[in-house]
Each structure stands twice: as structure tokens, then as C-alpha cells.
């Protein structure tokens, strides 16, 4: 498997280009578990095969480091768009990408034939409990108490094509994420599990976020999580609808536009390329 290691604000992935390949492995989950291992494999938060699509320029699948498949990932779609453009596969400044969450459209900001930043139309946030999905009565989940591990958390639920549980705290660095994250991710009220974002509001224009990703654990950044955090911040009255979301390795700019779409702008980088043997799968 020829691969390109990429990262978006430290959220790292193995891009596997199968667009022109005749042989496509039938066990991407198994490959993901082994290849993403940081001691015995390449090391990454996820494996992302790029495939041909009948409805878009490209199809992107996302496999977490535990082998589970995610509907969407904001950081890797920026990386994929940069890869597609700079390698001459799709030479457009707007690329249609098929995902399990629908067709997403990254827009490339190009300087001297190189992609400097990527702005992605992430679609509309879904706020009804059934859309998250989350068990309970119909309606939105905004600042709702939820017990996990003997602690009451006030949660706001948002779907960006994948589920998010956003919790506002005074200081995110004081949160025992390795303990709280798994309890909330696998909480019985989330039938498909959930991503978990702890958010510290700095002011009306900026928040700081730590994330526990479903199927991957704590990561340095999460694009859909940053979008969910921005939506939750706005509907709780903490911020405006345009804000910066600070993460461990940098900042994503999120805009909740008048058309109800969420736009995410941020960087992406290639790290290295290589070959990974998959003959034993």
C-alpha cells in the first residue's frame, strides 16, 4: 500500500490513494488497526482510502485507529483536498468529496500553485436529539444534565454528520480526559457512541477545545468537533457565530453562516510518503 502521511493541526492520517488502483483491499478496518499503531505500524489517528466516486470528484472513507468507520472528519478532508490538487488528481479550487455524511466541498486557497489554507463547507448542523442520535424525548439537547461515572455534565449535542457531545468548563486543562472521554463516548444514551468536546470560552470570538474522538481517543484536533463546539457556543449564547477554535496545535476558524451552513477554514500538511506491506491481510 503506497501511502502519504498527512496532518491537520496534529490530527494525523494515512492517506491511501486507490483512485487508479485495480486491487482494493477488502479489510480496511484490519489494515487501519495495524497501520495506525504508533509502535508497530506507521502511526496515525486514522486510515483514509481515496476511491473513485459516481457522484463526486472523489470518494473518501475514514477508518479510525480502532478499525471503526467514521462518517466524516474535518481535518482529513482538508488534507485530502490539498493532496488531490497538488498531485494533479483534481485540479479544481472546489472539490466535491463523497463521504458517509454526504458530499462535502473543500475550497482551496492557492498561493503560487500551492495550497495555503482550505475552507470547507461542512453542511448544516443537526440539533434534534434523533439526528445526533441520542436517546430521550424529542427536541434539542442544550445544556442538559447527563450523569457519567458519578459526575453530572451539562451537555449540548450536535451532529455534523457524526455525533458530538459538547461540554463547557472553566478550564479544559483540568479535565481528566482519559477518564471522562471513554465514559461519555460509550454512554448508553448515545447508541452510535459519540465524540466528546470539552470547551473553554475565552471571549465572544474565541474558545479553547480538547477532544476525545470516537474510535481514536484523545487527538490534537478535530474538525467536525470544532464545528460542533462553535455551534454549541453560539446556541448557548457564549459566542458569536464566527469564532476561532483553539486546539493544541493551532486554530480553526469556524463560521456559522446565514444559510445555516458551517464553514471551516484551516491548514493541512503532508508529512512523508512510503510503502506499507498488506500482503498478510
b/e sequence 17-39, b meaning 16+ C-beta within 10 Å: bbbeeeeeeeebeebbbbbbeee
> With respect to CATH, is domain 129-259 assigned 3.10.180.10?
no
Distance between CA atoms of 150 and 28, rounded to whole angstroms? 37
- The bridge status of strand 102-111 relative to strand 262-266 is unpaired
pLDDT band at residue 138 using 50, 70 and 90 as cut-offs: very high
Q: Could you state, in order of their start, the residue ranges of all structural domains in the chain?
A: 2-123+267-275, 129-259
With pLDDT > 90 as the criterion, what percentage of the chain qualifies?
A: 95
pLDDT of residue 74: 95
pTM score above 0.95:
no
Is residue 222 annotated as part of the catalytic site, yes or no? Answer: yes
Return the pLDDT at 21.
85
17 touches 50 (CB < 8 A) = yes
As a whole number, mean pLDDT of residues 251-262 equals: 98
Task: Say if 2-123+267-275 and 129-259 have the same CATH topology.
Answer: yes
**Binding site members:** 11, 64, 74-75, 162, 195, 213-214, 223-224
pLDDT band at 270 (very low <50, low <70, confident <90, very high): very high
CATH architecture under which domain 2-123+267-275 falls: Roll (3.10)
**Model confidence pLDDT, tens digit, residues 25-77:** 989 999 999 999 999 999 999 999 999 999 999 999 999 999 999 999 999 99
pLDDT recorded at residue 278: 86
CA nearest 195: which of 177, 208, 174?
A: 177
Q: How far apart are CA 3 and CA 171, in angstroms?
A: 38
User: What pLDDT score does 189 carry?
Assistant: 98
Q: Tell me the pLDDT of the chain averaged across its residues.
A: 96
Task: Tell me if 167 sits within 8 A of 174, measured CB to CB.
Answer: no
Residues making up the annotated binding site for substrate are 11, 64, 74-75, 162, 195, 213-214, 223-224
CA angle 67, 72, 73 (to 5 degrees): 90
Q: Give the pairing of strands 46-51 and 11-17.
A: parallel
Whether residue 73 lies in the annotated active site: yes
**Furthest C-alpha separation in the chain:** 55
Q: Which of 36, 79, 165, 222 is catalytic?
A: 222
Question: Which entry of 73, 79, 165, 227 is annotated as an active-site residue?
Answer: 73
Question: What's residue 280's pLDDT?
Answer: 53
- Whether residue 252 contacts residue 221, with contact meaning beta carbons closer than 8 Å, is answered with yes
> Pick from 109, 37, 62: which is nearest to 214 by CA?
62
Cell (9 digits) for 176: 481528566
d(CA 281, CA 112): 41
Amino acid at each position: 500500500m503506497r501511502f502519504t502521511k498527512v496532518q491537520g493541526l496534529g490530527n494525523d492520517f494515512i492517506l491511501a490513494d486507490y483512485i487508479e488502483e485495480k486491487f482494493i483491499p477488502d479489510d480496511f478496518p484490519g489494515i487501519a488497526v495495524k497501520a495506525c499503531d504508533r509502535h508497530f505500524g506507521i502511526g496515525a489517528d486514522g486510515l483514509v482510502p481515496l476511491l473513485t466516486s459516481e457522484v463526486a470528484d472523489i470518494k473518501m472513507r475514514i477508518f479510525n485507529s480502532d478499525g471503526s468507520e467514521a462518517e466524516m472528519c474535518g481535518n482529513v478532508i482538508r488534507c485530502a483536498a490539498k493532496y488531490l490538487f497538488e498531485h494533479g488528481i483534481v485540479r479544481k479550487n472546489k472539490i466535491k468529496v463523497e463521504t458517509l455524511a454526504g458530499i462535502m466541498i473543500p475550497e482551496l486557497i492557492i498561493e503560487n500553485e500551492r495550497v495555503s489554507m482550505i475552507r470547507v463547507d461542512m453542511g448544516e448542523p443537526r440539533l434534534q436529539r434523533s439526528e445526533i442520535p441520542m436517546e430521550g424525548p424529542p427536541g434539542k439537547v442544550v445544556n442538559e444534565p447527563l450523569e457519567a461515572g458519578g459526575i453530572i455534565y451539562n451537555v449540548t449535542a450536535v451532529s455534523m454528520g457524526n455525533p458530538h457531545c459538547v461540554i463547557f468548563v472553566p478550564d479544559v486543562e483540568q479535565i481528566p480526559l482519559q477518564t471522562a472521554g471513554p465514559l461519555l463516548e460509550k454512554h448508553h444514551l448515545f447508541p452510535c457512541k459519540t465524540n466528546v468536546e470539552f470547551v473553554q470560552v475565552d471571549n465572544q470570538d474565541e474558545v479553547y477545545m480538547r477532544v476525545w474522538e470516537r474510535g481514536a481517543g484523545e487527538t490534537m484536533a478535530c474538525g467536525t468537533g470544532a464545528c460542533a463546539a462553535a455551534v454549541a457556543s453560539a446556541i448557548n449564547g457564549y459566542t458569536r457565530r464566527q469564532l476561532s477554535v483553539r486546539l493544541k496545535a493551532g486554530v480553526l476558524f469556524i463560521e456559522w453562516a446565514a444559510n445555516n451552513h458551517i464553514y471551516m477554514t484551516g491548514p493541512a500538511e503532508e508529512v512523508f510518503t512510503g510503502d506499507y506491506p498488506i500482503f498478510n491481510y
